[in-house]
Amino acid sequence: MDMADARSLYRKLVKSNSVKDLGDGEVLLYIDLHVMNEYTSPQAFSGLSAAKRKVWRPEAHLAIVDHVNSTRRRGTFADPQAALLIDTLEDNCRQHGIHFIGLDDERQGIEHIVVPEQGLARPGMVIACGDSHTTTYGAFGALGFGIGTSEVEHILATQTLVYRILDDMRITIDGTLGLGVSAKDVIMAAIAQIGAGGANGCAVEFAGSAIDALSMAGRMTICNMAVELGARAALMAPSERVYAHVAQTSNAPDGPVLAEARMGWDGLRSDAEVKFSRDVSLDASAIAPLVSWGTSPDQTIPISAAIPDPGAGPDSASRRAVERALAYMGLTAGQPLSGIPIDKAFIGSCTNSRLEDLREAASILRGRQVAPNVEAIVVPGSRSVARAAEAEGLDNIFRAAGFQWRQESGCSMCLAMNDDVAKPGERVASSTNRNFEGRQGAGARTHLMSPAMVAAAAVAGHLTDVRSFKVSSDAAL
């Protein structure tokens, strides 16, 4: 094959879903599955009604309630605006014949956890959702990307989008991850190296031996958070692990269909001759457990490092940004990261609340206690994750350590658009994906890290290196 015919996995996916070439680098892209939540969809439905349009293909949509509901108890909570969002979504779905997963549904959970769990993310698909972390589905060799509400309306009305083809970027991560280092650290390392806007305009393919070695959960964590690089799509070539995951879900297609599909899926990889417009590599063995110190996800350093000096920035805008972040975070340059006291520990979100994440955190917490003055919360990514964790007794480990175990699922304190809100000035060790000002509550200070690092911080009462815990808990086995 010569270079002109070589195609990246990304371009193969775009090509197989292109209804029409619109010229000027744009295609009319067919959307196989459209996922909706309660807070970015209402205006799309009202736009549709105002224009007297109908839903093009109701069975290709799935609506899930997750952002505004309480995870403390079933049902919403005393917030009429939240109730209105949820009721509006349910009404819209009923009116248009769209599959709805509400708070009374045993499959409910965070949308990007539920979709793969139900087997609805499969290699070769194109999936869109009014939520930026739709990049998650790249873990299956599917093209997933976030859209705004106008585009939600566009898909409802046409099952397609006017789509600009992105540039191809590849991030290769070779080597073996060290003890206590997880997929979360890998993606945070990439963000720290490349920058929060470093992949703007790009579809990023993750490759390399460290990616091949990841579990399904780890693959999802990385693709999920790739949007924090500015990537509009993240992709990984599907593997046996992906096929096995799809085959064991309740919506798995019948054997013969699956067998046929697999033959097609085997072709879903970038041709060797593809020239990526950007190619970056990372050494997995050099990645340490990472923690964000600032208010942008690229403001991230190893746990053993000290808070950076604003004076070291390349220009005045970046120096001011560092100063502003330090002021917001209540930190000073040169201060060691390890030892900074925390007020809250939060394990949850579509980045890190799968069963495997909970196991990792529980392995640190077994036989240990959350420090006094730390409020620790764990919110499973879905009801299914909660039930599976309970079956393994993980809930007991969390509870015995002093964590609040939430039986209901949702976004909770990842964005604090519900009844889990950190107070002004509170410092949160968090397994989530965004450390923006006010993200977890007005004035709240977020430090992003892996679930195991959150568990370690909860026990120590301050930011700390999980590797010291790892050695001792492994020795205890």
Partner 1 sequence: MQPFRIEQGIAAPFPEPNVNTDVIMPKRFLKTVTRDDLALGVFADLRFAKDGGNQPSFILNRPIYQHARFLVVGDNFGCGSSREHAVWGLMQLGIRALIGTTFAGIFFDNCRRNGLLAITCPAQMRDTLLEQVSDSGRAHLKINLEDQTIRTEDGKARPFDIEPARKADLLLGRDAIAQTLEDAAAISAFETHRRTAAWAQFYRALTIRK
CA–CA–CA angle 199, 134, 153 (5° rounding): 110
DSSP code of residue 113 = H
DSSP notation for 126-155: EEEESSGGGGGGGGGT-EEEE--HHHHHHH
394-401 and 383-391 helices cross at what angle (nearest 10)?
A: 90
Please, which of residues 316-345 interact with partner 1 by CB under 8 A?
317-318, 320-321, 324
**Is residue 442 at the binding interface for partner 1, with CB under 8 A as the rule?**
yes
Based on its alpha-carbon atoms, the radius of gyration of the chain, rounded to whole angstroms, reads 22
Q: Kindly write out the interface string for residues 100-139 of this chain, putting x where it contacts partner 1 by CB under 8 A and - elsewhere.
A: ------------------x-x-x-xx----xxx-------
Cβ distance to partner 1 smaller for residue 23 or 372: 23
Q: How many residues does this entry show for the chain? A: 477
Cβ distance to partner 1 smaller for residue 139 or 417: 417
DSSP notation for 275-288: --SEEEEEEGGGPP
Q: Which of 348, 430, 364, 429 is nearest to 397 (CA)?
A: 364
**Is residue 40 at the binding interface for partner 1, with CB under 8 A as the rule?**
yes
**Is residue 367 at the binding interface for partner 1, with CB under 8 A as the rule?**
no
Structure tokens at 212: 């091949």
Burial of 333 (0-12, 13-18, 19+ CB in 10 A): middle
Burial of 186 (0-12, 13-18, 19+ CB in 10 A): buried
Tell me which of partner 1, ligand SF4, none is bound by residue 219, counting a contact when its beta carbon lies within the kind-specific cut-off of 5 to 8 angstroms: none
Q: Residue count at the site for partner 1 (CB under 8 A)?
A: 87
**Is residue 84 at the binding interface for partner 1, with CB under 8 A as the rule?**
yes
Stretch that binds partner 1, among 145-153, 179-187, 385-393, 467-475 (CB under 8 A): 145-153
Q: CA 321 → CA 95, 249, 283, 312, 347, distances in Å? A: 47, 45, 29, 12, 28
Tell me which of partner 1, ligand SF4, none is bound by residue 414, counting a contact when its beta carbon lies within the kind-specific cut-off of 5 to 8 angstroms: ligand SF4
Residue whose pair of structure tokens reads 């000035």 in the numeric block: 425
Stretch that binds partner 1, among 177-185, 314-322, 339-347, 459-467 (CB under 8 A): 314-322
Tell me which of partner 1, ligand SF4, none is bound by residue 157, counting a contact when its beta carbon lies within the kind-specific cut-off of 5 to 8 angstroms: partner 1
d(CA 287, CA 444): 28
Burial of 417 (0-12, 13-18, 19+ CB in 10 A): buried
Q: Distance of alpha carbon 80 from its chain centroid, rounded?
A: 28
Q: Kindly write out the interface string for residues 224-263 of this chain, putting x where it contacts partner 1 by CB under 8 A and - elsewhere.
A: ------x-x-----------------xx-xx--xx-xx-x
Cβ distance to ligand SF4 smaller for residue 338 or 431: 431
Q: Which of 235, 220, 219 is nearest to 142 (CA)?
A: 235
Stretch that binds partner 1, among 7-15, 59-67, 303-311, 452-460 (CB under 8 A): 59-67
d(CA 432, CA 76): 22
d(CA 338, CA 353): 24
Q: Which residues form the interface with ligand SF4 (CB under 6 A)?
A: 67, 110, 112, 131, 133, 349-350, 411, 414-415, 433
Report helix, strand or coil for 465: coil
CB of 9 to partner 1, least distance (A): 17
Name which position in 70, 159, 382, 412 contacts partner 1 (CB under 8 A): 159
Cβ distance to ligand SF4 smaller for residue 415 or 457: 415
Tell me which of ligand SF4, partner 1, none is bound by residue 110, counting a contact when its beta carbon lies within the kind-specific cut-off of 5 to 8 angstroms: ligand SF4
Cβ distance to partner 1 smaller for residue 59 or 474: 59
Tell me which of partner 1, ligand SF4, none is bound by residue 349, counting a contact when its beta carbon lies within the kind-specific cut-off of 5 to 8 angstroms: ligand SF4
Cβ distance to ligand SF4 smaller for residue 178 or 438: 438
**Is residue 150 at the binding interface for partner 1, with CB under 8 A as the rule?**
yes
Name which position in 6, 7, 11, 46 contacts partner 1 (CB under 8 A): 46
Tell me which of ligand SF4, partner 1, none is bound by residue 160, counting a contact when its beta carbon lies within the kind-specific cut-off of 5 to 8 angstroms: partner 1
Let me know: does 232 contact 163? Beta carbons within 8 Å: no
Tell me which of partner 1, ligand SF4, none is bound by residue 238, counting a contact when its beta carbon lies within the kind-specific cut-off of 5 to 8 angstroms: none
CB of 162 to partner 1, least distance (A): 6
Q: Which of 182, 175, 215 is nearest to 470 (CA)?
A: 182
